[in-house]
A and B are shown apart, each in its own frame.
Chain A
């Protein structure tokens, strides 16, 4: 009679199913609020009023900034218009040249303009340009 010891019997299919189920449970748990939601934030009347004041001030501040920006844009447009009209009076040739569409100039530069970041890059400015 021979004994066969199967010490670490591999039960691959069953384990895989459990692991898969566990993974699903974890992923579902991440996107559901159950047991993760904090308590409701209850403010006393005094604090609620203070919060409303802050919110109001912020929205007014934003509105002011926006109005300023819009006014600047309007002025810029007017300024361009005035300049071009003046040019038409003085020099019809230049007027024609600036009002004829030209695709070459409106192309955004290759490499682009750098988007501002919170902190500067290690090389702040490239002083040497590649010769064309």
Chain B
């Protein structure tokens, strides 16, 4: 029809693509809490938002006038559009195109938007934010790019982690670092934070959130923590040490926190055991940068150890290591450490020699 028609009432199919939860459609694309879902999708005249708990608040609250009527039409319109995209999806086989279409089909779904906007994106509940779904990966990536990614790049650049370790970084995966609770700080640390030696005395857990379309059953990851600020008195310089190295780590979109549970096979996964930061007195701050790489193929740790073990501690070249092993840097993180009164204790626990004390005059 040429008349300005608005296609919605003419085609009514039940249920719509967004509410037809058959075996294919993930339940994470729906709001699990029923009152909220009911309120958003089928609000009746008198009902109040379930996020309001107190009765007095419920009585006071008024949602905008005219919203109920227009919402129904808008929802049907968007759902109709989504149906067209799903129809197109059936005749598409290319994975990238399919991913794009799936994103387009769900991005305007209010339930998806609600789940994403109002739940924890970092420690995600797969019932709400399921990163297996392309739409959540897309939204997650946009959210990451809007702040955390920029913050990370700024910290990496101002602290000169780039180019002191790797030449540059094209960030593709979100990397977050947290130290275990027993050390007193149970937070995801912000890139560039200065941490006490007590906090960093045990190995961190590292969360690697992939947003790209990858084959999670095959993809392996390498994680390196390097410290480029070890004092090298002989050469009046600094050298890089490798403080932690994990290889052949397998991740999935939702279960991606790398800690002791993740590397069961020590020989294959643990290349270098964790060496906690033990900065020496008056030697200034040291940067501990975490680098995450995608592997091209499986790495043979015994080979690497037999060849380069002596270099890890005193003269590690992360660029050559990455090049030699065909590693692609996808994410990074950095924290700083400096000498404090607890360093001696940490050295004791790990059986390290006593640290030096630097003064202005060398003797």
Q: Do A's and B's CB atoms come within 8 Å in the complex?
A: yes
**Given known A-B contacts A44-B61, A45-B118, A53 and B108 have beta carbons under 8 A apart:** yes
**Given known A-B contacts A46-B114, A50-B71, A60 and B78 have beta carbons under 8 A apart:** yes
A57 B63 Cβ-Cβ under 8 A:
no
Which among B44-52, B128-136, B319-327 touches the partner chain?
B44-52
Give the one of B36, B77, B81 with max A CB within 10 A.
Answer: B77
Binding site for A on B (CB under 8 A): 6, 36, 39-40, 43, 49-52, 61, 63-64, 67, 70-71, 73-75, 77-78, 81, 108, 110, 113-114, 117-118
B75 neighbours in A (Cβ, 8 Å): 53, 57
A58 to B6, CA, bound (A): 12
A47 to B62, CA, bound (A): 10
B110 A52 Cβ-Cβ under 8 A:
yes
B71 A54 Cβ-Cβ under 8 A:
yes
A54 to B64, CA, bound (A): 12
A60 to B82, CA, bound (A): 12
Among A41, A49, A58, A61, contact of B114 (Cβ-Cβ < 8 Å): A49
B74 A43 Cβ-Cβ under 8 A:
no
Binding site for B on A (CB under 8 A): 41, 43-47, 49-54, 56-58, 60-61
Kindly provide the distance from the CB of A117 to the nearest chain B CB, expressed in whole angstroms.
Answer: 18
**Given known A-B contacts A53-B78, A53-B108, A47 and B117 have beta carbons under 8 A apart:** no
A47 to B52, CA, bound (A): 12
Kindly provide the distance from the CB of A58 to the nearest chain B CB, expressed in whole angstroms.
Answer: 7
A60 to B80, CA, bound (A): 12
A50 neighbours in B (Cβ, 8 Å): 40, 43, 63, 67, 71, 110
Kindly provide the distance from the CB of B249 to the nearest chain A CB, expressed in whole angstroms.
Answer: 36
Kindly provide the distance from the CB of B97 to the nearest chain A CB, expressed in whole angstroms.
Answer: 20
Among B63, B113, B118, contact of A47 (Cβ-Cβ < 8 Å): B63
A45 to B40, CA, bound (A): 10
A37 to B67, CA, bound (A): 22
A52 neighbours in B (Cβ, 8 Å): 110, 113
Query: Other than the known A46-B50, A49-B40, A50-B71, what 20 A-B pairs have Cβ atoms closer than 8 Å?
Result: A41-B64, A44-B51, A44-B63, A45-B118, A46-B39, A46-B40, A46-B49, A47-B67, A50-B43, A51-B67, A53-B74, A53-B108, A54-B74, A56-B74, A57-B77, A57-B108, A60-B77, A60-B78, A60-B108, A61-B6
Kindly provide the distance from the CB of A24 to the nearest chain B CB, expressed in whole angstroms.
Answer: 37
Among B50, B63, B74, contact of A58 (Cβ-Cβ < 8 Å): B74
A46 B108 Cβ-Cβ under 8 A:
no
The chain A residue with its CB closest to the CB of B73 is: A57
